[in-house]
Amino acid sequence: MKTMRFALLIPIVIIVMVIGAIIPLVVKISYLYFAGFIVLMYITLATAWNILGGYAGYVNFGTAGFFGLAAYLSAFLLESVGVSLPVALLAGGAISAALGLGIGYSTLKLRGIFFAIATLALAIVIQMIIINTPAVGGAVGFYTLRPPPPPPYTNYLEFLFVVMLGIALASIVTSRAIEKSKIGRGLIALRDDETAAECMGVPVFKLKLLAAGLSGFFMGLAGAPYPYYITYMEPISVFSLDISVNAVAMPLIGGLGTWIGPLIGAAIVAAIQQAVTVTIGSELNLVIIGVLLVAFVVAAPYGIVGLIRERIRRLS
């Protein structure tokens, strides 16, 4: 039954991808794709964070480090080397995956607040390295020029929206596959009691490395197209604490440790933030996150998914 449900997800994903690719050809509202890109980017980041933070229980406060490193590498390759966007995407994903494996190998023996602090420090170190690297603009920043959009699109933002839609869907499918597999069950076991899981024969260290690598890979994929979206990058904004806080808060609001929770949380919170940015200002984005987190901790500590499941149990 579970295999059948997962098999049904594939055609749904294909249909969503096709519809998403067609919409920009019909609906010509630039801001729709400008805001949609950010929403899809956060869906990817939240889903990627959940692989390590939700399933395995390792809270990562360094999302901005993975995201920013991939964004800067992508920008350098696109502007200085002249590679194509698909190559830049793979390079960004690969370097963030390697970073995930590296940080995983060296720090996954840490737990709780110690691991969280280590990942936060990692993001700060990467930011300092970028600031002191003239090849990518240093503290001044780095410009990228968007190429002509590939046919049949007439605006490059429309094309980037479709690219990010594909990345977001790939992250969701991967997360869903992990959750329903032996890998997911092993990650959940080590999250609940790592010592007991290891005693039962769960390959704890290998699973943690796999989760760290996959999480980093999708964070890198989310960051790689960002230079063409923003066109001008500076370390302060690309390595912003907002990115790390959102990546943690969105799965918590949607439902931690579930494949659909980060999707729901990121879609709702990022959409609200985009609406507030247009109407009031982006300064309130962290305030929104804070208010929502407090509200959900009090009213629904297991997130929207947990709240729905509780209501279903009560009705049945």
Of the chain, the end-to-end C-alpha distance in Å amounts to: 21
Please report the pLDDT score of residue 92 as a whole number. Answer: 96
Give tens-digit pLDDT for 257-289: 999 999 999 999 999 888 888 777 667 777 888
Give tens-digit pLDDT for 49-103: 999 999 999 999 999 999 999 999 999 999 989 899 999 999 999 999 999 998 8
Residue ranges of the domains in the chain?
A: 2-247
Give tens-digit pLDDT for 164-207: 999 999 999 999 999 989 999 999 998 988 888 888 888 988 99
Please report the pLDDT score of residue 6 as a whole number. Answer: 63
